[in-house]
Amino acid sequence: MTKSHDAEAQRSVRQIRLAAQLPRCDGLGLNHLTLAALIWLETNHKAVNALNVFPVPDGDTGTNMLLTMQAAFREIKGSRELNVSKVAHAIAQGALMGARGNSGVILSQIWRGFARGLGNAEAFDADLLVHALGTACETAYRGVVKPVEGTILTVIKDIATAAEQAVAGEPEQRDLRQLLAVCAKAAAEAVARTPEQMPLLKQAGVVDAGGKGLALLLDGMLRHLRAQPLDIAEVAEIVPLDLAAVGAALDAAEPGQEWEVVLDFRPRGVLHLPTLYRRLEQIGASIQVGEGEGLYRVHVHLLRTRRHEPIELAEELGTVVKVHMENLLDQMNDTRAPAGGAEALPLSAVKPGQLAVVAVSPGLGLSRVMASLGAAAIVSGGQTMNPSTQDILQAIGDVPTDRVIVLPNNKNIISAAIQAAEMTVKQVRVVPTRTVPQGIAALLNLVPDGDLETVQACMERALAAVQTGEVTTSSRSANVAGVAIQEGQFVGLHNTQLKAAGDALAAVVLALLEEMQASQHELATFYYGADVSAEAATAMAAQVRTDYPNLTVELHAGGQPHYHYIFSIE
């Protein structure tokens, strides 16, 4: 970066923070505001993650929005661009490609509409900002098939309305600082009203997570303008860890992560935790940092090719004392792979012109099942680890045919899949599978040489015949849909709806089967998760056969995290 650019950047910061009036904002100004928004969201994203309607591992809204914003800012990091519309379009493109989960996709549409609203402007004033916010709102609503109020959509609508009313009614609101304060206040008030608009939020005692994330972005920008700190509120606690318990933080691999690295290091100076978290999140997932006896322990899951990067980061910050690495995929295999490497998935060999299926899978065992049924590409992801639009788009591009069907297999991934389908020149159809068993049912209807629309229709019809059960652990106490649950209890979901809870895993499985009227079906297929042993799963299957002699019970190692069992009845 040149001295002239440094001077220009410093001038922009002084103008934004110190000028008596802020009538306009150029590209550098938007760059600084976007970084501030990102840092503030990063500081508070765990609080957003805690706002789950259902007390089970869901899409991690805060993480999804953070990853989307990180992808957006990478497009302008270090940029010297003064043209605000060019900066906004770069942000929108980054957000589009990095969008994860429903909240991330909607956030990317907000940025897309904002950029469109700016047109080709060199800078924006109050009037143009109002116009851009209005376009952002319209674009976000258009991108959702069935808009629901009491969500992030309502928050952006209230922001746009408040900005328009402020500029029309108060001349002093043409100062961008004052206008942004109005927008931030409107966002906070809109978030506070979301429980009144969505009964489930009120019942669970939370506000909408996506709306809260958007409000934090505006609040971060406003804090920057007011020279307030962005990295000291809601900082993740440093929990003392047992330094002898290597890797005790998590027992199972997360989707898309291949290796676990746990290292201890002694920093040379004062350690800035938000910066450490930010850099670790660029490397991997399942991040935990603990402190004990003057040492910091870092725990992270990452791809095999990146397993040395945490060590390099720790050496940059201090002295590495101890390192432990472990192959998580090897842990998840119920049978050992042959010498020379991990077992390859039996992906379908697709010829040009044939139909190819791109499927999202949360576990290695489930990936094997999908591959054996004809999937040509597997995208790792699921609960708490939604793949990005770019991940799905790349998988679509990698298959050697122009006719593709995408199976998201999770309600939080459908939006990203649709967005990816719209960005490719290939003929792509998204079958809206909300669960893994639905995805498997769809694969059973794959005809590689069939007509795209006909096969899509057959797959979608098959979804209605599948009843899905999922058993996980409650992340907090709540009373949802008439079911009272305590933190740490096992909970059962029927077609993603909470239906059972209890202290014993087997009892919850059986209660869920009763709720699903298993006595009226013929086949039950169980996929046990990474934290369930083969012996325990076999015993569970035997109990189901005893209680439901009408059922033929099939059992497979799914390898999925968070969910002890995923099963279907037909």
Percent of the chain whose predicted confidence (pLDDT) is above 90: 47
pLDDT digits (tens, 9 = 90+) for 552-563: 999 999 998 889
Q: Which residue has the higher pLDDT, 302 or 85?
A: 85
Q: What is the mean pLDDT of residues 170-188?
A: 85
Distance CA 320, CA 297 (A): 10
**CATH 3.40.190.10 is held by the domain 3-225:** no
Q: Is residue 159's pLDDT more than 60?
A: yes
pLDDT recorded at residue 64: 87
Total Cβ atoms within 10 A of residue 164: 15
Q: Is residue 434's pLDDT more than 90?
A: yes
pLDDT recorded at residue 34: 95
**Residue 537's closest CA among 555, 512, 519?**
555
Total Cβ atoms within 10 A of residue 514: 14
Distance CA 482, CA 550 (A): 30
DSSP codes of every residue in 522-548: SEEEEEE-TTS-HHHHHHHHHHHHHH-
pLDDT digits (tens, 9 = 90+) for 129-153: 999 999 999 999 988 767 889 999 9
Q: Which fold has domain 355-446?
A: Rossmann fold (3.40.50)
By the 8 A CB rule, do 102 and 58 touch?
no
pLDDT digits (tens, 9 = 90+) for 286-340: 666 655 556 677 767 788 778 888 888 988 888 988 787 777 655 444 333 333 3
Distance CA 289, CA 297 (A): 6
**Residue 399's closest CA among 379, 370, 372, 419?**
379
**Confidence class for position 210, pLDDT limits 50, 70, 90:** very high
Q: Is residue 7's pLDDT more than 70?
A: no
Ranges of CATH 1.25.40.340 domains, the chain: 3-225
Q: What is the mean pLDDT of residues 74-100?
A: 92
pLDDT recorded at residue 286: 62
Q: Which fold has domain 259-332?
A: Alpha-Beta Plaits (3.30.70)
Distance CA 205, CA 309 (A): 41
pLDDT recorded at residue 233: 54
Q: Which fold has domain 467-569?
A: Hypothetical Protein Tm841; Chain: A;domain 3 (3.30.1180)
Three-class secondary structure of residue 45 per DSSP: helix
Angle at which helices 84-98 and 61-74 pack, to 10 degrees? 130
Model pTM above 0.95: no
Distance CA 38, CA 60 (A): 16
Structure tokens at 152: 């992030």
Ranges of CATH 3.30.1180 domains, the chain: 467-569
Ranges of CATH 3.40.50.510 domains, the chain: 355-446
Three-class secondary structure of residue 146 per DSSP: coil
Distance CA 266, CA 291 (A): 10
pLDDT digits (tens, 9 = 90+) for 237-256: 433 333 333 333 333 334 44
Q: Is residue 52's pLDDT more than 70?
A: no
Residue 65: half-sphere exposure toward Cβ, Cα within 13 Å: 31
pLDDT recorded at residue 196: 92
**Confidence class for position 172, pLDDT limits 50, 70, 90:** low
pLDDT recorded at residue 11: 58
457 Cβ neighbours under 8 A, 6+ residues apart: none
pLDDT mean across residues, the chain: 83
102 Cβ neighbours under 8 A, 6+ residues apart: 59, 64, 210, 411, 412, 414, 415
